[in-house]
Amino acid sequence: MRLGFGLRADSCGMEACWAVQMMYDAFEPKGCVQGMPPVADYTRRTWVEAIMGNSWNFVLRERYKVVGHAAAIADKRRKEAEYLIFVLPNYQKQGLGITLTELAMDYLRRRGIRRVFSKVQLSNIRAIQLYRKFNFDFSPQGDDSRCIMACTLEQAA
């Protein structure tokens, strides 16, 4: 999906792993979202490899540079997926989180996923606002400071 200003958003596979690693190397502050992206270099590399290998992945690219990444860790039997998203600080507040999430939700819907959830700190206003735009609501699970937001994807007829 071409977005203008040299930006595009696409689903991707392991071929994008190195570029996604570079994005998380540049992301600050590290560890800000429940320890993600991991602070230690080795742990961060392993974390990215695991996500890229075990999830559906989506990237925002400015030319060859990845400036945003989202992943959906799916449980196909239960038709649900855990969603996470990071946009580099210099690229935030420009609607790119919305664009990447639109792409991801459409992709998940077409693959039969019915429920998408994310673990969110109650202090993470930006993430909560973003998820609200996609009709995520607070789910009863979770503890005091960290809650689960979830949405139901309408399946195409």
Ligand X SMILES: CC(C)(COP(=O)(O)OP(=O)(O)OC[C@H]1O[C@@H](n2cnc3c(N)ncnc32)[C@H](O)[C@@H]1OP(=O)(O)O)[C@@H](O)C(=O)NCCC(=O)NCCS
Q: Which two tokens stand for residue 31?
A: 């560890």
Nearest residue by C-beta to ligand X? 97
Residues whose CB falls within 8 Å of the CB of residue 112, separated by 6 or more in sequence, listed in order? 76, 79, 155
Residues forming contacts to ligand X in the complex (CB under 6 A) are: 33, 84-87, 92-98, 118, 120, 124-127, 129-130
Nearer to ligand X (CB atom), residue 123 or residue 157? 123
Nearer to ligand X (CB atom), residue 141 or residue 155? 141
Q: Which two tokens stand for residue 65?
A: 């540079």
Please check whether residue 131 is in contact with residue 85, taking contact to mean a CB–CB distance below 8 angstroms.
no
H-type alpha helices, the chain: 17-26, 41-54, 96-110, 125-133
Nearer to ligand X (CB atom), residue 17 or residue 128? 128
Shortest Å distance, C-beta 42 to ligand X:
21
Nearer to ligand X (CB atom), residue 3 or residue 33? 33
Shortest Å distance, C-beta 48 to ligand X:
14
Shortest Å distance, C-beta 157 to ligand X:
29
C-alpha to C-alpha distance for 95 and 91, rounded to whole angstroms? 9
